[in-house]
Structure 1
Amino acid sequence: MEEFNWGDLINPEFYINLEIAGHKIGLYVVLFIVFAETGLLAGFFLPGDSLLFLSGIYSKALMSELMVIESDFLNVLCVASLVALAGIIGNLFGYWFGAKSGNYLYQKEDGFLFKKKYLFESKAFFEKHGGRAIIFARFLPVVRTFTPIIAGVANMEFKKFVFYNIISSIAWSFSLIFAGHYLYRFLLDSYGFDLTHYIEYIIIIIIAITTVPFVIKLIKNKRAKK
């Protein structure tokens, strides 16, 4: 058994290849992480976008934990559908938690896993974009964890929330998983370039794409307030 490294916790490939007693459990771990990142306060530090992208690359291996499917397309479709469902359920849980907890979260002290500033940043994001924030938030690390909770705290109309929740989860999961799979296949078949040999770079690029614009926006907003 390989020695555990704390750095593995932010490495999506670690979760996809997890085994227990010789049995692969990567698919179940991926689904739980998606649920946790979109529904639990403690899920903001987990890999999201990069995990989905890699799930597209390893879709056949992941689906083989449930059943053997020969069709490449069906493997990707099934993984994307399961991830979308996990994301929908996660957001519903976050909404329910927000509706039940109310203002308690705003009075809660910062802890190791909970940072109040993330709550306020998500609230500002939600108030600015309304229902569209549910869709936008899916593609933004940290924000996607807190936005459904804020929607619950703000008593957003449940039917409206469910609509945007379903649309956003499908868009997020299908775009990243299908992009991962077919970009991997295209580069491998056309140029013999294997993306699995450059996982670290993929993670860095995806994190940069998803977080840098958000960080720049926050910096601009803070400067504008001064």
Structure 2
Amino acid sequence: MSFDLTHLLHSASYAGIFGIVFAETGLLIGFFLPGDTLLITAGILAQQGSLSLAGVMLAVAAGAILGDSTGYALGRRFGPAIFQRPDSRLFRPEYVTRTRAFFERYGGLALTLAQFVPIVRTVAPTLAGVGQMPYPRFVTFNVIGVLLWAGAVPLLGYWLGGLVPHLDRYILLVVGAVVLLSLLAVGLELRKGRVARR
């Protein structure tokens, strides 16, 4: 996968980064796209001089912000109608109620942390739209999460690329470690929130 991504990034450059990130964050079918792998690989290539680190961060941030807003709009526009079907097994009406309650409880924190978790960052904006979260609230916390993600993950690839020779050969291991750390951080934050409310 790292070879394919390296070739893609050399040929499609910042437009490719923007397009993949937009599809991953804005379209529900984008959950299989290599978000974190892409960002770390782009950071490594920036360290090697093939890309600009600032350009990578800007392409990621623009793609994620526009993608997340698209996912939110799709969820807000089509979600309620889809989830009103009482006989549906996948789209039950009570899911809307649960989603709305979840974002009322964890809203800002959930959106900010969701950006660091694969699959979750794909569905969270759409669910925020389905749950009718006010857009100003959504976009505020979403942009915070996007800017942290778009800055931290490529920067990690850039730093590791200078530290470990031929890091692109081990990109899947690096991404796996990043995902595990992200899930651990999310779990700790949510647990802390539950303890504080008690």
TM-score (norm 1): 0.68
Cα distance in structure 2, aligned partners of 1:153 and 1:174: 28
Encode CA deviations 1:105-159: one digit per residue, 9 max, x unaligned: 436868xxxx769xx6x93753541122110110111111111111111221111
Q: 5 Å matches for 1:20-39?
A: 24-39=11-26
Is 1:161 the counterpart of 2:138 in the alignment? yes
Range moving further from structure 2, 206-215 or 169-178: 206-215
Trace 1:14-163 onto structure 2 (pairs within 5 A). Answer: 14-18=4-8, 24-59=11-46, 60-61=49-50, 63=51, 75-106=52-83, 123=99, 126-163=103-140
Tell which has more relative contact order, 1 or 2 (C-alpha 8 A, sep 6+): 2
Q: CA deviation at 1:214?
A: 7.0
| C-alpha deviation, 1:177, in angstroms | 0.5
Counterpart residue type for residue 65 of structure 2: I
In the TM superposition, what whole-angstrom CA distance separates every residue of 1:52-82 from its partner, at most 9, and x where no partner exists?
1111111232x3xxxxxxxxxxx21121112
Render the CA deviation track for 1:42-61: whole Å, top value 9, x for unaligned: 01111112221111111232
CA deviation map 1:20-58 (0-9, x unaligned) = xxx811432222111111110101111112221111111
Contact 1:50 1:207 in 2 (8 A): no
Name the SS of the counterpart of 1:17 in structure 2: helix
Distance across 2 between alignment mates of 1:159 and 1:127:
14
The 3-state SS of whatever aligns with 1:168 is helix
RMSD of Structure 2 on Structure 1 (CA): 3.2
8 Å contact kept, 2:25–2:121: yes
Q: TM-score, normalised by structure 2?
A: 0.76
Q: Partners in 1 of 2:2 and 2:65 — Cα distance?
A: 21
Q: Any unmatched runs of 5+ in structure 2?
A: 188-198
Higher share of residues assigned helix? 2
